Structure 1
Amino acid sequence: MALTPMKQIATLYRGHFLTLAPSLCSPVCGKRVNFLGEYRRPGQPRDNTPPWKKIRFNFAKGVEGIQKHFSLLKDELFQRMVGPQGRPLQEHMLEQTQVKWEFRGSESLSQWVVSSDREIGGRSEAYLKLGRNNTTCLLYGTLCSTPPRDGETRYSGYCTLRSKQPTMSFDRKKHHDWSTFNTLYLRIRGDGRPWMVNIGAETYFTHQNDDMYSYFLFTRGGPYWQEVKIPFSKFFLSSRGRIQDEQHPLWLDKVNTIGFTLGDQADGPFQLEIDFIAACNDRTHTEEFAYELYKRNPEV
């Protein structure tokens, strides 16, 4: 039976899309493209449970949530009268170094998320705990670059520590404003492995959700602490692990998360101890952006 012109176009478009689909997905995710929903391993059955059946109503938790959000709203209103984060505005204007994260108890660990390639069937393991005297955090585990035997995944072997995006009352998004600083200040103690520092900023479009600003962190190893200063101008733009040709400076007034990724393909145990993560204003650093900016219509 002959196809109508519209059906011929639809069939041709569907064929081209299936041909291009493997190139649109990252190497870790395999050849399947899943635009809606979370990652599903190859061969795993699809969860067809309706969304309304996954909701669990609890009156006590609802009342507790309302009290929590109204208390947060009250704190936000009073902090605006005093200054940012409840401190006078003069302190923020004169401050050269501001500690953003420090690990001084079990509550500080709840602000972070640990993940590894076990989510896609890998064998790497990563754990997070408090260090000695409960004054530092220790990220440790074992890295394994052997890909899962599912017939589709070709690359594996990574471990990641990422901070949670802060929220305001009623689960509204909150951004870190680092516009008055120009350098990332870390106090760490590693085992000699190279890490990747990742900073996620707010974006305008949904196709930019995978954009990340990254830079390399080289640890010395040994028993001594290491203080590292990385200018924000050195962070380069990447998307799904691929460095982009068109680079843009980091939006310091809309920072969402910061993370550390290990993927050096060196199988074996690892550990990274962090004392604090801060942002400082280095007056000697005047560089705006370290990489070439491509202009579509360059000025003559």
Structure 2
Amino acid sequence: MTAKNVPYKEGFGPFAPEVYRVPSPYPFRWPSGADNAAEEALAALTDTVLTQIGAHNVAAIVAEPIQGEGGFIVPPAGYLKAVQEFATAHGIVFVADEIQTGLGRTGAMFACEHEDVVPDLITTAKALAGGMPLAAVTGRAELMDAVAPGGLGGTYAGNPVACAAALGALETIERDNLVERAQQIEARVIPRLEALLGHDSPVGDVRGRGAMLALEFVKPGTTDPAPEVAKSVAAYCHREGVLTLVCGTFGNVIRLLPPLVISMDLLDEAVSVLEAAISTIRASSEVA
């Protein structure tokens, strides 16, 4: 279902047909401005469903509450709720993909909570078992019970070791107040990242929630993507012992996913390396 070709789809086709994609509101890059992103994105969704497909032909609307691989894009307030209400009004199942955002990462147990959204189905993985192979689909009973017993399953379903890891992860999240910890990480890091913004800075946007944060790199004074800068910053950080990941449609976003159990001293040290990387690369660009 992903819309990103390289490295996820290239050479792997053909793919399942009848998967439709609509633009998710991307405030930093929305053509008519951030203030119009939610309204116009919702209009595009409703037009696609009602005009091009037919609501009765739509099995589900699947959305990430915050886009992950797409660049850690936080939708404008109210957008996700409006999508859920539209789906409900037309008898369409609304699925929240919380594989990256779930289990405390964004400063709420699930990112949907920030928008007061209760999905029909929710997918979880990654943090669910602390890295052990386990994923889950949770949903309203009438949907989950619609399949006959044994109708859904898999080779690794109910793996006892992975399930034990998940119980341990959930216990740790609750015991150590890691949801609140994600909020503290955001409060600690965001001001330092926002200080990197500026008309002559390669950092065009800072965004995220909780411990799911990102910087988007551009050519200074524009919104033109600068993937080469993102790659250079990530390489600098790597050389200094700090691992960052590059993502985004244009490969120009660096995402920060510090462990929720990280010490504040270590977090500060990592952000300092990131700041030094940007400062060094920015200085070299000015000299060039």
The TM-score normalised by the length of structure 2 is 0.24
Q: Which has the higher helix share?
A: 2
Point out which structure has higher relative CO (alpha carbons under 8 A, 6+ apart). Answer: 1
Q: Which has the higher strand share?
A: 1
Greater C-alpha radius of gyration: 1
The TM-score normalised by the length of structure 1 is 0.24
